[in-house]
Structure 1
Amino acid sequence: MIWLLRIDDALDDAGATVTLRFASGEYRDPDGYGWRVGIQQAGLYRAGLFAGDIIRNASRSGYGETTLINVDGRFDYLADVAMDGRVAVLSLATDDGVEEAWRGTVSRVGFERGIVSITLRDPIELLQLPHPNTRYAGTNVAPDGLEGTDDDIGGTVKPRLYGQTRNAAPVLVNEQKLIYQISDIDCTVIAVYDNGVRLDFAGTYDSAEDLENEGPLPGFWEDWQPPRGKWRRYQGYIRLGTPPSGQLTVAANGAQQLAGDVMAAIASDAGQTLHSDDVATLNALGQLRMLVTDETSTADLLDRIAVSVGGYWRIDATGTIRAGVIEPPTAPVLTLRKHQILQITREATGAGDNGLPVGAVVVEADPIEVTQTDLAGAVTEGRRARLEKAVREAVATSTATQARHPLAGELRISSRLATRAEGKAVADRVLALTSVRRDSVTVEARVTSAAGLRIGKGLRLETPRLGYSAGRNFLIVGREIDASNNRLTLTLWG
């Protein structure tokens, strides 16, 4: 076995593009390239997916380090090569061919004591950086401007709407002209409320210039009781004709509202791509409400969506984001048998936090941003009841599981799905998945036994250990390669 590390599109000291090829032994590839021998340790690399609390033994991808022997200075030239951020591919060459084991990007290169260390990071690390946002410049010169002042909102993150929002408090960006903003990307404000009472819509502006130069008519009091007034809109802005008498809230819809389209838009803003097949899968699950008002990472936003739909997300070997719903493991691509397994352990036989099957699933759906109890007298009792609660709950219960496992727990999902009906569909699906036995297993095998296994693929275990003599299908949710010791550790769920 020979370990191979390839780094694409690096730049040499003259600025020319070069491909770097290193090997742990003598190797010439089918294209005739001779790889430079020098890999001392191929490193330890981990890949995984995020699946919220449904698959508790899954863990995110990580990074590793490959070291090169440089006692004779053969790799000193790498100090003048720019390779940070470039794609790096770790592969294993055997008599059966070359199998890609891990793909990521170069983080840094270090030189010390006759060793060159190349630290590789997983593509997910780019998504753990702050999600791209804009901030208010604080440059208003009264009475003009849409950026606030340094004395109020200057320097704060602008709100950004993905999907829908309901009963959200917009940001006052121009106090003199009563202009508010709910999103720094295009959306449609569909309703404005003052203390729970819906205000009259007076039309759409054609431009930001019109927004600043022309206010809506003030309107009239009804029976001399506020709230009163009218409002107009332009993209993510609204302008009032009369100061609000109480809490101002809005309802708005973004350009994308279905779950897959929302995730794709978030990924795109971060320079990433969600696989087109997965967009359609997620879209079938319903609409999302995602109003971002503070600095957060892109990964956190993707997490919220995966949790909302009872699903998962990860990055595949091509750097594309993959996402979907968790399903029972089927169609294994490989069967591991006793002679191939070095170690095996089972952590749980249920998806609950106590290691037991789940007896009930509660999905918190239909979220609103601001809860209110102090409302105007004209607000109906039904609306009062809705505005008192941040979410509505959809519940699915398995009496059979609760009878078999009296200690079966409840799985609670905080969802951004827009309706309780959509939440109920998730609750039913997740309950069917988790109310039965689900084993969490860790298996250590030789790399040559399963080098081609990937996250999200099916694996079948057949071994007398742990009662798997008849075989059981699992989903691969974690994969750790210890290249130095030629070991592969698989985290399995099923």
Structure 2
Amino acid sequence: MLDAYSLDTQPLDGLGVDMVPWVLTSVGTGRAIDYVYIAELYPWQGTNGVTYGAPLVLDAGMLDALPGQEEQPPGSTVPLYFADRGYLTAPIDSIAPRRLYEGRVEGFSVERRLPLSPTDSRRVAGTFGLLRLRNDDGMLDSLPDSFAIQGRRVVVKRIVRGQDLSEAVPVFDGVGVAWEPGDGVMGLTVRDRTALADLSLLPTYGGTGGKDGPAAWSGKPMPGVFGIGRWVPLECYDTALGLFRCHFRRIKSVLALWDKGGAYTFVGDYPTEAALKAASLTGGQYATCCAEGLVRAVPAGLSYAGTITADIEGDAEGGYVETHAEIAARLLEIGGLGDLVAGGTVTSHAAYLPGACGFAWTSQVTVGDAVSAVMQSCASWWGDDRTGMIRLGRLEEPGVPDLELVPGSGLLDVTPSTLPASISPAVWRSTVQYRRCNSVISRDAILFSADEATKAFAEREYREAPPAANSLILPRYPTAPELRINSGFDNPGPASDLASYLQALYARSRGAWACEVPLAVAASLWLGRSIWLEWPRHGLAQGRSVRVVALPEDVGDRIATIIVWG
């Protein structure tokens, strides 16, 4: 039996809880659901040298409610607890008996939205409102000067009054950005945890000489290669010995090396830069120090004919990675977010997109932008969920629904929503490109001695897998769009599979709908969940299986407008 919910207009009078205009009642249990929103802030206590208002002190009632707890000394993390109504946990609460949450939360909203089009940004779109704390008494005036919140953890949860804290449901688990004092309000801007990925991916040269680069390279990003990068351009840091850096740390191998299309012969791999320097090489040969991401190439003539390029099996620190999911997880690990990646989503993503791929960066990029580039190349998405964990996934056909939304049972209103132009009304052809040449050279510029296969590869940035198309769409929709994806795949098979997946997903005429539902319904949903939707209008009279693609929540509202697609 599918779950269902109804709206009860009875107040909570006589139930031993605060009065609210109306409450939600679960059809299955008949019990009233009285939600309380709690906020837990974990700033760093310490002065920034500015005096602003009176120093913040813990309320005496709070100290009484927390036996044995004292104010923390400067230079430590101090938890601050607030709620939309004053809330005291039970004496037998398993996490924090008799913890007091001050009733200061005045407003907070959050929405997460999956990208519908493969051409959209691949990070789950998070919109986070200002966390507003009532401050008409001035008790929070000193927060900006006494507590550093930037990059510190901020958690908002929803709990049914009387439940144990262990049963509280996360609504937001992210980081603070800045305090925003206002008239009678202390505001706090927040971001999801993917904000921590907005840091530079590539380390830079110090300019001290040797593999740290010449003085002119000081501050210049080192190259980064993940998976298999073809024809990655290299720069020489030691012209006397012909030493190049391929990657900023350990790599798996350098499969091949060219000078303007002329192939070099591989000699061997050496454990250190010193051993690589001492290796005996003749003209037209190359050797590697994979442990340090280095390669040495001796010119075939008096000097190099052009830019040295290499086929590199890249980052192998902790093991070589080559699928989109593995590379995305490795990038997040480098950014310090490895512990936040939900490993199950990496495994499942690698299972349905198993092909080897590769990406190379020779100019600076943030970890977040690098992950987005990897996920966009395979029409997938990444982002954090309500719990703050980072997940990888892709949009799929609606599955078997386990929740029914129909008029009078969990559904208040439905209005049509707009689909992106890149997939509307239907896609007539999907083309996926593969095996990128990272250093394109015109046929006229390549060495005459290079073979035809090398010339053909070097003059085009991508190869193109056979497209997937539906000949019935264009006669019906003459302006129907075409999808074109520059994948990171190295071989045509996985690229063709991706084209078939895209065409099957977007060749049909799809729709999106905004659905008003009670908070109790929205609280039971997650992004990507399949549900059954019926409504007398908008093509839904016979019902339709759809997926949840946008999920909002507002502390001040017990109605949520979700977006579904199918």
Question: Equivalent residue of 1:135, what SS?
Answer: coil
Q: Which of 432, 435, 448 is matched with 2:520 structurally?
A: 448
The answer to whether structure 1 residue 291 and structure 2 residue 360 are counterparts is yes
1:383 aligns with 2:454: yes
Q: Kindly indicate whether residue 169 of structure 2 is the aligned counterpart of residue 126 of structure 1.
A: no
1:392 partner letter: R
Where 2:196 maps in the other structure, the secondary structure is helix
Cross-structure match for 1:89? 155
Q: How does 1:44-443 map to 2 (within 5 A)?
A: 44-50=109-115, 53=118, 60-76=125-141, 78=143, 79-94=145-160, 98-127=168-197, 129-140=198-209, 145-151=210-216, 153-187=217-251, 188-212=253-277, 214=278, 216-219=280-283, 229-235=284-290, 236-242=293-299, 243-254=303-314, 255-273=320-338, 274-284=341-351, 285=353, 286-339=355-408, 340-348=410-418, 353=422, 355-372=424-441, 373=443, 374-394=445-465, 395-443=467-515
Question: What's the secondary structure of 1:426's corresponding residue?
Answer: helix
Shift of 1:390: 0.5
1:48 and 1:490 map into 2 onto residues whose CA distance is: 10
Instruction: Name the CA distance, whole Å, in 2 between partners of 1:449 and 1:414.
Output: 39
1:24 — aligned with what?
84
- How far apart are 1:8 and its partner, in Å? 4.7
Distance across 2 between alignment mates of 1:461 and 1:49: 19
Q: Deviations over 1:332-373 (max 9, x none)?
A: 35333334445533234x775262111110111111101122
Cα–Cα, structure 1 residues 427 and 467, in superposed 2: closer, same or farther, change >3 Å? same
What's the offset of the Cα at 1:259? 2.2
CA RMSD of aligned residues (A): 2.6
The CA distance in 2 between the partners of 1:27 and 1:77, in whole Å, is 23
- Aligned partners of 1:204, 1:9: CA distance in 2, in Å? 49
How far did 1:270 drift?
Answer: 0.9
3-state SS of 1:337 partner: strand
The answer to which of 405-414 and 84-93 deviates more is 84-93
Q: Which amino acid aligns with 1:91?
A: K
So what's the TM-score if we normalise by structure 2?
0.78
**Contact in 2 for aligned 1:61/1:124 (Cα 8 Å):** no
One-letter amino acid of the structure 2 residue matched with residue 433 of structure 1: L
Does 305-314 or 386-395 show the bigger shift?
305-314
For 1:6, what is the secondary structure of its paired residue? strand
User: How far, CA to CA, are the matches of 1:150 and 1:105 in structure 2?
Assistant: 38
Q: Which amino acid aligns with 2:170?
A: E
* Residue identity matched to 1:380: D
Mind listing any 5+ residue stretches in structure 1 that lack a counterpart?
Answer: 220-228
Q: Write the distance in 2 (CA, Å) between the matches of 1:69 and 1:169.
A: 57
Question: Structure 2: which amino acid aligns with 1:107?
Answer: V
Paired AA for residue 20 in structure 1: L
* Whole-Å separation in 1 of the counterparts to 2:135 and 2:43: 22
Cα separation, partners in 2 of 1:177 and 1:29, compared to 1, 3 Å: same
What is the CA distance between 1:18 and its match in structure 2? Answer: 4.2
Query: Greater CA deviation, 254-263 or 166-175?
Result: 254-263
Distance 1:318 1:26 in 2: 24
Deviation string, structure 1 residues 226-276 (Cα, Å, up to 9, x no partner): xxx211111221112223223321111022222222121111001113322
CA distance in 2, matches of 1:248, 1:120: 46
Distance 1:473 1:8, change over 3 A: farther
**Distance in 2 (alpha carbons) for counterparts of 1:146 and 1:386:** 31
Contact 1:8 1:87 in 2 (8 A): yes
Length, aligned pairs only: 477
Pair 96,36 (structure 1): closer, same or farther in 2 beyond 3 Å? closer
Structure 2 counterpart SS, 1:61: strand
List per-residue Cα deviations over 1:438-463 (Å, max 9, x = no partner).
21222333323322322222233221
For 1:302-337, what per-residue CA distance to the aligned partner results, in whole angstroms no more than 9, with x for missing partners? 222222222222212333221123211123353333
Contact 1:177 1:215 (C-alpha < 8 Å) held by counterparts: no
* Identity of matched residues, %: 24
Unaligned runs of 5+ in 2: 1-34, 46-71, 315-319
Judged with a 3 Å threshold, the aligned counterparts in structure 2 of structure 1 residues 154 and 64 are, in CA distance, closer, same or farther, namely same
Letter in 1 for 2:193: P
* C-alpha deviation, 1:118, in angstroms: 2.4
Counterpart Cα distance in 2 of 1:18 and 1:292: 40
Cα distance between partner residues in 1 of 2:233 and 2:76 = 52
Distance in 2 (CA, whole Å) between partners of 1:56 and 1:96 is: 41
- Name which of structure 1's ranges 339-348 and 393-402 shifts more when overlaid on structure 2: 339-348
Query: In 2 relative to 1, CA 54–132 (structure 1 residues): closer, same or farther, beyond 3 Å?
Result: closer
- C-alpha deviation, 1:83, in angstroms: 4.3
The whole-number CA distance in structure 1 between the counterparts of 2:80 and 2:457 is 61
Structure 1 residues 431 and 21 mapped into 2: Cα distance closer, same or farther (>3 Å)? same
Q: TM-score, normalised by structure 1?
A: 0.88
